Structure 1
Amino acid sequence: MEAAHKLKTYEDLLAIPEDVHAELHAGEIVTQPGSLSDHSRVQRSMSHFIGGPFDDDTDGPDGWWIFTEMDVRFTRHDVTRPDLVGWRRSRLPSPGNLRPIDVVPDWICEVLSPSNARHDRVFKARLYAQHGVPFYWLIDPAERLLEAYVLKDSQWLLAGTWDDTEVARVPPFEAVELALEAVLPAAAHLTFPPCCTRRSATPGSAPACTSSSVPAPARRSASWRPAP
């Protein structure tokens, strides 16, 4: 009789070199190649523009811990390392040197790349919804789009989709305006139709552009229920 498959745990992840991006998805170790330059630039910019006012700046709307690539354990067999992740300090008073962190985050942001887009949109979206992560952002550097989702009744509701021509107040960080042009990497090889102009956006608003060149995520349904 074939031996039962043993599900991996965090202890198995610790045996993997630290410079390898490895996660646990339903007991299976999933590794990813190193980040592309656009991915790293978005991650660094988001850490600055969100982490600055909400974590570093004591004169700003603080009350958060904002980290990059922190191990988060949702179950014994599910551990992810989000590109950016945040906790309200009222729920995580002192992270210290905890590894992994077992407290469910208040906000997660994943930066899409060819190697991880499927996991971020399917497996992780389902996992985060099941465990009650209230806010989930997806950033697509190639299309220069930010999609923001809010969890309601175990469904991901689209709060808004913004491109790099816009300035937005995006939940849960509505206290500051986020200029997407500064966050998303420039791509001179792509052009926008005339209708795409810089304007202020509010949560729930649609991108200004409605032409056929708008990427498909901008037309996503406003309700997204992760598959059971």
Structure 2
Amino acid sequence: MAEAAVRQATYADLEAVPAHLVAEIIDGTLETHPRPRPRHGMAAARLSGELDRPFARGRGGPGGWIFIIEPELHLGLQVVVPDLAGWRRERMPTEPEDAFIETPPDWICGILSPSTTRLDRGPKRRIYGEAGVGHLWLLDPAAGVLEGFAFMNERWVLLATIQCGETVALPPFDAVPFPLDDLFPFDDPAAPAQPET
């Protein structure tokens, strides 16, 4: 007896997901997860801020980039929503008119959480490589660790692992380094110590 064909998720399935969830279609399966926790969101906002001035606006850096927070990317049959994505300006010369983007980014950052780590480290990483994304950062706010990868020779190569207390100088944004600790405002080691009682 033949097995029943597995139904492939459609864009209509994705659109039917409640607004409080993030929805993606990965390898034909509808994947949903909750919106990010505050620590996750703060890290994304702070990283975007670190990159925007020097790399998007050219203030204190080379400029030439466009950044988007949580873009909906249509990469072939895959529909993915990375936390942050960046395109070299020449690859995105005009503002996209659709709610989704089909041009693969040059750089993606996935911010890991318990509900997304399996996808970010697994199929999404493969999908990004197949689509031609050149650089991938995986930021784990809970552990205070940032991993930087480059796609070379058909595979992701780990360039560096940055931990709290260290400086981020990872391609493609190594021209303007910044402290990793700046992404975690409630972990400020410079905060005044509470007096002992």
TM norm. shorter chain > 0.5: yes
2:20/2:35 contact within 8 Å kept: no
Aligned to 1:194: none
Question: 1:43-62 maps to which residues of 2 (within 5 A)?
Answer: 43-57=44-58, 60-62=61-63
Matched residue, 2:178? 178
Q: TM-score, normalised by structure 1?
A: 0.75
Counterpart CA distance in 2 for 1:157 and 1:128 is: 13
Aligned position for 1:219: none
Alignment of 1:25-174 (within 5 A): 25-57=26-58, 60-76=61-77, 78-174=78-174
Letter in 2 for 1:74: L
Looking at secondary structure, tell me which structure has more helix per residue.
2
Deviation at 1:70, TM superposition (A): 0.4
Normalising by structure 2, report the TM-score: 0.87
How many pairs align? Answer: 187
CA distance in 2 between counterparts of 1:19 and 1:86 reads: 25
Q: CA RMSD in A?
A: 2.0
Q: Measure, in 2, the Cα distance between the counterparts of 1:10 and 1:118.
A: 22
- Once the two structures are superposed, the pairs formed by residues 207-218 of structure 1 within 5 Å of their partners are none
Gaps of 5+ in 2: 189-197
Q: Distance in 1 between matches of 2:176 and 2:59?
A: 14
Are 1:144 and 1:185, in contact at CA under 8 Å, matched by a contact in 2? Answer: no
Deviation at 1:157, TM superposition (A): 0.9
TM-superposed deviation, 1:6: 3.0
Report if aligned partners of 1:141, 1:185 keep a CA contact under 8 Å in 2.
no
Deviation at 1:184, TM superposition (A): 3.2
Deviations 1:27-49 (CA, angstroms, capped at 9, x unpaired): 11111012112111111101100
Gap runs ≥5 in structure 1: 189-228
Partner of 2:122, secondary structure, is helix
Q: CA deviation at 1:154?
A: 1.1
How many percent identity over aligned positions? 37
Q: CA shift at 1:13, angstroms?
A: 1.9
CA distances 1:56-75 after superposition (whole Å, capped 9, x unpaired): 44664211110110000112
Alpha carbons 1:66, 1:87 under 8 Å: kept:
yes
Contact 1:170 1:178 in 2 (8 A): no
Distance, in Å, in 1 between the alignment partners of 2:183 and 2:31 is 28
Q: Secondary structure in 1 aligned to 2:127?
A: helix
Name the stretch that deviates more: 178-187 or 111-120.
Answer: 178-187
Contact 2:107/2:136, CA 8 A, preserved across alignment? yes
SS in structure 2 at match of 1:172: coil
The amino acid of 2:46's aligned partner reads: S
